[in-house]
């Protein structure tokens, strides 16, 4: 029984040594294949792929010469009480930027370092601003239109109630009237309720004379005020 066991162990050891030797030889053969055939093949494929996509990238760069990017316009106020406005932004260096106001070409400037700026006197009312860039006799798309409302006159105030010098007997008393629809109104410093161009506020009164000051401020920053005096005499 002991002899049979020792023979079996020797057979297992021989098979294990043979498997190790075969595995080692297999690894050497695979490495040899990769060095002589695999690596050169991969290099050839990489070169061909790089050439293919490289040519496409070169073509796309060539085609990009036909495309002129639209300039970027810096934010502008929706309304202002100053007729002189700075219109600025950025574009690619060397591009010419054209300024259009209400559909008419007004000015152009070269964006030497990538920035541009126009200082223009605008007409009272709405002014539609658009820009485009030109390069190598080609033009970009227009920027989205931007509207600037130039308002040089203050809002009008009409106080419907009370009238100047009126005597009233109840408090609070409703102060109401009309002004420009884009205005905000305060009455003796209190914000009035607005409904389009109409304003109103229930104002507490003191005994005797009361000065009521109505102030209107429009979106362009123009301000107007009106004062009436009423006498409060409770019954």
Do 99 and 133 belong together in one domain? yes
Residue 5 above 90 pLDDT? no
Do 125 and 173 belong together in one domain? no
| DSSP class per residue in 19-31 | HHHHHHHHHHHHH
| Boundary of a domain, candidates 114, 148, 182 | 148
The total of structural domains in the chain comes to 2
Residue 34 above 70 pLDDT? no
- Considering the chain, what is the average pLDDT of its residues? 85
Give 164's contacts (C-beta < 8 A, 6+ positions apart): 228, 229, 230
> Cα–Cα distances in Å, from 35 out to 22, 29, 38, 48?
20, 10, 6, 20
Q: Is residue 136 part of a domain?
A: yes
Q: Is residue 121 part of a domain?
A: yes
Given this model, what pLDDT does residue 173 score?
A: 97
Do 169 and 141 belong together in one domain? no
Do 141 and 159 belong together in one domain? no
Strand partners, 95: none
What does the pLDDT look like over 78-93, one tens digit per residue? 999 999 999 999 999 9
| DSSP class per residue in 82-150 | -SEEEEEEE--TT-EEEEEETTEEEEEEE-TTSEEEEEEEPPSEEEEEEEEEEETTEE-PPPPPEEEEE
Given this model, what pLDDT does residue 20 score?
A: 77
Residue 203 above 70 pLDDT? yes
Q: Name the nearest CA neighbour of 118 among 173, 110, 183.
A: 110
Residue 50 above 50 pLDDT? no
Q: Name the nearest CA neighbour of 110 among 133, 136, 84.
A: 133
Q: Is residue 219 part of a domain?
A: yes
| Boundary of a domain, candidates 106, 128, 148 | 148
For residue 126 the two structure tokens come to 């709405």
Given this model, what pLDDT does residue 27 score?
A: 81
Q: Is residue 94 part of a domain?
A: yes
Q: 199 or 45, which is more confident?
A: 199
| Boundary of a domain, candidates 148, 174, 193 | 148
d(CA 60, CA 165): 79
Going 24 to 25 to 26 to 31, the CA torsion angle's sign is positive
What does the pLDDT look like over 120-138, one tens digit per residue? 999 999 999 999 999 998 9
Do 177 and 212 belong together in one domain? yes
Q: Which domain covers residue 160, as residue numbers?
A: 155-230
Q: Is the pTM of this model over 0.85?
A: no
Given this model, what pLDDT does residue 48 score?
A: 43
Task: Give the CATH number for residue 217.
Answer: 2.60.40.10
Q: Is residue 41 part of a domain?
A: no
d(CA 175, CA 158): 11
Question: What letter does residue 197 receive in the DSSP assignment?
Answer: T
Q: Is residue 83 part of a domain?
A: yes
- Judge whether 203 and 212 are in contact, CB under 8 Å: yes
**Which of 9-23, 47-61, 168-182 has the weakest average pLDDT?**
47-61
Q: Name the nearest CA neighbour of 134 among 82, 99, 165, 86.
A: 99
């Amino acid at each position: 029984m002991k002899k049979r066991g020792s023979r079996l162990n020797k057979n297992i050891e021989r098979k294990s040594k043979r498997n190790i030797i075969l595995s080692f030889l297999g690894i050497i053969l695979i490495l040899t294949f990769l060095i002589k055939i695999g690596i050169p093949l991969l290099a050839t494929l990489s070169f061909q792929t790089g050439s293919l996509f490289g040519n496409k990238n070169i073509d796309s760069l060539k085609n990009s010469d036909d495309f002129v990017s639209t300039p970027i316009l810096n934010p502008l106020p929706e309304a202002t009480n100053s007729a002189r406005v700075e219109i600025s932004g950025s574009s690619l260096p060397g591009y010419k930027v054209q300024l259009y106001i209400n559909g008419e070409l007004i000015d152009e400037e070269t964006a030497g370092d990538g920035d541009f700026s126009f200082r223009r006197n605008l007409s009272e009312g709405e002014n539609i601003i658009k820009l485009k860039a030109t390069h190598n006799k080609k033009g970009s798309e227009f920027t989205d239109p931007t509207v600037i409302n130039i308002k040089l006159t203050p809002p009008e105030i009409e106080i419907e109630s009370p009238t100047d010098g009126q005597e009233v007997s109840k408090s609070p008393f409703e102060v109401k009237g009309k002004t420009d629809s884009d205005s905000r109104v305060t009455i003796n410093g209190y914000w009035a309720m607005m409904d389009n161009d109409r304003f109103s506020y229930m104002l507490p009164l003191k005994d005797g004379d009361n000065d009521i000051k109505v102030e209107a401020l429009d979106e362009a920053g123009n301000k107007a005020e009106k004062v009436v005096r009423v006498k409060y005499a409770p019954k």
